[in-house]
């Protein structure tokens, strides 16, 4: 399994790091791609991505693309035409797409969610996501789209991704390893 986690200046660092860390613990290959050599996240934490987003090959195929939130980061990711093109091809191929916090609005803005979709997201973007069936569940899986509420749900979101990309046994092992559940 190989996934893409794109980040941009203003991305929510907890979400990005928890997603990348949990997936790597599970043995998933993760490419953390940033909009710069050093990405300054929403709380001033600086992250050095594996690759600059513009250096990714346009034909790179990932098993999943996972979008972290953070208001400014989401705005910056949504404005990235290369990322939009990648996500459009990815969705058209029927591959897994996931978004947390404000990031489901990217899929809305790019018109990549069916009107019948059930989604969740941060309370600050609910008014945008009310165009669909909005759920208050912490993680929502609807076909090939997984959404989640915010930084406080990042572990549950990551475990849902691990279950989908790997299996339930690995997700349980990772949850136990980090003492998420006792």
Residues assigned a catalytic role:
101, 122
The whole-angstrom separation of Cα 172 and Cα 117 is 28
Report the 10 Å Cβ neighbour count for 114.
10
Question: Is 20 within 8 Å of 48 (Cβ atoms)?
Answer: no
Three-class SS of residue 40? strand
Q: What is the DSSP string of 12-26?
A: -HHHHHHHHHHHHHT
Distance, in Å, from the CA atom of 145 to the CA atom of 87, rounded to the nearest integer, reads: 12
């Amino acid at each position: 399994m190989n996934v893409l986690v794109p980040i941009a200046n203003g991305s929510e660092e907890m979400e990005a790091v928890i997603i990348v860390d949990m997936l790597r613990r599970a043995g998933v290959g993760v490419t953390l791609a940033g909009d710069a050599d050093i990405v300054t996240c929403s709380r001033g934490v600086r992250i050095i991505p594996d690759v600059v987003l513009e250096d990714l090959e346009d034909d790179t195929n990932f098993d999943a693309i996972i979008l972290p939130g953070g208001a400014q980061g989401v705005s910056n990711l949504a404005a990235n035409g290369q990322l939009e093109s990648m996500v459009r091809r990815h969705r058209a191929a029927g591959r897994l797409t996931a978004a947390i916090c404000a990031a489901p609005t990217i899929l809305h803005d790019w018109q990549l969610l069916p009107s019948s979709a059930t989604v969740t997201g941060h309370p600050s973007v609910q008014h945008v996501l009310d165009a669909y069936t909005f759920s208050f569940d912490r993680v929502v899986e609807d076909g090939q789209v997984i959404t989640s509420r915010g930084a406080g749900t990042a572990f549950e979101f990551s475990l849902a991704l691990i279950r989908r990309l790997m299996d339930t046994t690995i997700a349980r092992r990772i949850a136990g390893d980090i003492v998420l559940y006792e």
